[in-house]
A and B are shown apart, each in its own frame.
Chain A
Amino acid sequence: MNTHHLQERRGRRLGITYSAPMGLWLTVFFLVPLGIIILYSFLKKGLYGGVEWEFTLSAYQQMFNPNFMRVLFRTLWVATLATCFTILLALPCGYAMARSRNQVLWLALVIVPFWTNSLIRIYAWIAILSSEGFVNEALKAIGLISESLPLIYNQGAVITVLIYMYIPFAILPLFTTIDKFDFQLLEAARDLGATKAESIVKVLLPNIRSGIITALIFTFIPIFGAYTVPLLVGGKDSYLIGNIIVDQVTKTRNWPLASAFSLVLTVLSTIGVIWMMTSNASEKARQKSVVQVADTNGGLS
Chain B
Amino acid sequence: MERKNHTRKLTAILAAALVIATLVLATGCTKSDASARGGKTLYLYNWTYYTPESVIEKFEKEFGVKVVLDYFASNEDMFAKLKAGGSGYDIVFPSQDYTSIMINQKMVHEIDHAKIPNLRYINPMILEKATYDPQMRWSVPYSSGATGIAVNKTKVSSYARDWSIFADTRLKGRMSMLDDMREVMGDALAHLGYSVNSTDPAELAAAQKLINEQWKPNLVKFDAEGFAKSFSTGEFWVVHGYAEAVFEELDESRWGEVDFFLPPEGGPMYLDSMVIPTGAKNVELAHEFINFIHRPEIYAEFLDRFHYPATVHTEAGALMTVQPFYRGEDMAAYELKYDVGEDLDKYNEIWQTIRYVN
Contact = CB atoms under 8 A, between A and B. Distances in A.
Interface stretch (B85-93, B118-126, B218-226, B291-299): B218-226
Contacts of A251: 76, 181
Interface stretch (B15-23, B62-70, B322-330, B349-357): B349-357
A68 B220 contact: no
B101 A239 contact: no
- A contact patch SS: loop
A253 B345 CA distance: 10
Nearest to B102: A48
B216 interface: yes
Contacts of B352: 65, 67-68
Interface string A156-189: 0000000000000000000000000000000000
Contact of B225 (A68, A231, A254): A231
Contact of A236 (B83, B222, B225, B226): B222
Interface string A28-52: 0000000000000000000111100
A237 interface: yes
B107 to A, nearest CB: 11
A74 to B, nearest CB: 9
Interface in B318-358: 341-342, 344, 348, 351-353, 355-358
Contacts of A70: 356-357
Interface in A249-286: 249-254
B164 interface: no
Most chain A C-beta atoms within 10 Å of own C-beta, residue among B173, B216, B229, B235? B235
A51 to B, nearest CB: 12
B261 interface: no
Contacts of A48: 79, 83, 101
B221 A250 contact: no
Given A123-B226, A237-B358, A67 B220 contact: no
Contacts of A67: 352-353, 356-357
Nearest to B356: A67
B52 interface: no
Residue among A48, A50, A235, A254 having the largest count of chain B Cβ atoms under 10 Å: A48
Give the dominant DSSP class at B's interface.
helix
B233 A252 contact: no
A131 interface: yes
Contact of B235 (A132, A234, A250): A132
Given A153-B220, A234-B221, A252-B344, A239 B229 contact: no
Nearest to A251: B181
Interface in B212-239: 216, 219-222, 225-226, 229-230, 233-235
Interface string A187-231: 000000000000000000000000000000000000000000001
Chain A CB within 10 A, most for which of B80, B173, B221, B226: B221
A138 B230 CA distance: 19
A126 interface: yes
Contacts of A83: none
A239 B233 contact: no
B342 A235 contact: no
Contacts of B344: 252-253
A86 interface: no
Contacts of A71: 356
Q: How big is chain A's contact interface, by range? A: 20 to 34
A107 interface: no
B220 A123 contact: no
Given A132-B233, A252-B348, A50 B80 contact: yes
Interface string B221-259: 110011001100111000000000000000000000000
Contact of A126 (B76, B179, B181, B226): B226
A232 interface: yes
A68 B233 contact: no
A140 B172 CA distance: 22
Contacts of B181: 251-252
Contacts of B356: 67-68, 70-71, 239, 244
A250 B348 CA distance: 13
B221 A153 contact: yes
Interface string B195-221: 000000000000000000000100111
B74 interface: yes
A234 B225 CA distance: 12
B229 A236 contact: no
Interface in A78-135: 123, 126-127, 130-132
A68 B355 CA distance: 11
B75 to A, nearest CB: 10
Contacts of A235: 220-221, 358
Nearest to B101: A48
Given A70-B356, A250-B77, A251-B76, A131 B235 contact: yes
B238 to A, nearest CB: 15
A236 B342 contact: no
Nearest to B354: A236
B219 A236 contact: yes
Given A70-B356, A252-B348, A232 B225 contact: yes
Interface of A: 47-50, 65, 67-68, 70-71, 123, 126-127, 130-132, 150, 153, 231-232, 234-237, 239, 244, 249-254
12 contacts: A47-B342, A48-B79, A49-B79, A50-B83, A70-B356, A70-B357, A127-B233, A131-B235, A231-B179, A232-B226, A239-B358, A252-B181
Given A67-B357, A239-B355, 7 more contacts: A48-B83, A70-B356, A127-B233, A132-B234, A231-B179, A232-B225, A251-B76
Closest 9 CB pairs of A and B: A237-B358, A67-B352, A67-B356, A235-B221, A236-B358, A130-B235, A252-B348, A153-B220, A153-B221
